[in-house]
Amino acid sequence: YADTNGYFTDENREMWPWRDWVISAFNANMPFDQFTVEQLAGDLLPQADIDRRIATGFNRNHMVNNETGIIEEEFRVEYVVDRVDTTATVWLGLTLACARCHDHKYDPISQREFYEFFAYFNNVPERGLSGSNGNALPVLSVPTSEQTARLDAVRKQIATAEQRHADVTSEIQAAQAAWEVTAVEQSP
């Protein structure tokens, strides 16, 4: 885990909501099967609330590159490989790096099986060039409770201002229409 994109420019990336979710899950003594499912596919569960969607941040914890000279497809594939390696290491207790290039006599996973696992993550719609403005898309907005309260207050102010604008606009339009009638009547 890191609030960074991990490459040479070390741009900021906010992953703290996922980190906080993991800490909360440990503190709540969440069952391991639930802990696993929510991180791998929490957004696909029925009634996927904000917490379950945050949990899937595990799948977004790979490095991202914003160097303008890169080949996007190359790095998109690297992101997929990173997800395969990380997911296998964390949840299967296996390293799959060797199987990316060849079958290995000491590893139980073949190259074919590596790319079967790869195919699962290769369906993620993302760009290879990303991370220069914080998190790569898609992004889940996760305001704190204080920020939510402030957002609600600002939204109310905006709604009030928009209503005032609408009221004044209709008054101005009515006054203009009346003026146009008198202007036509008074014209020579």
Check residue 38 and give its pLDDT. Answer: 96
Check residue 172 and give its pLDDT. Answer: 94
Contact 121, 62 (CB under 8 A): no
pLDDT tens track of the chain, all 188 residues? 666 666 766 777 788 899 999 999 999 999 999 999 999 999 999 999 999 999 998 888 877 777 777 788 888 898 899 999 999 999 999 888 889 989 988 878 899 999 999 998 898 777 766 656 666 667 788 888 899 999 999 999 999 999 999 999 989 999 999 999 898 888 87
How many CB atoms sit inside 10 A of residue 135's CB? 19
Residue 4 sits at φ, ψ, to 5 deg, of -150, 160
Check residue 108 and give its pLDDT. Answer: 86
CA 23, 29, 32, 33 dihedral sign is negative
Check residue 139 and give its pLDDT. Answer: 76
| H, E, C per residue of the chain | CCCECCCCCCCECCCHHHHHHHHHHHHCCCCHHHHHHHHHHHHHCCCCCHHHHHHHHHHHCCCCECCCCCCHHHHHHHHHHHHHHHHHHHHHCCCCCHHHCCCCCCCCCCHHHHHHHHHHHCCCCCCCECCCCCCCCCCCCCCCHHHHHHHHHHHHHHHHHHHHHHHHHHHHHHHHHHHHHHHHHHCC
Q: Is the pTM of this model over 0.85?
A: no
Q: Where are the domains positioned within the chain?
A: 16-139, 143-188
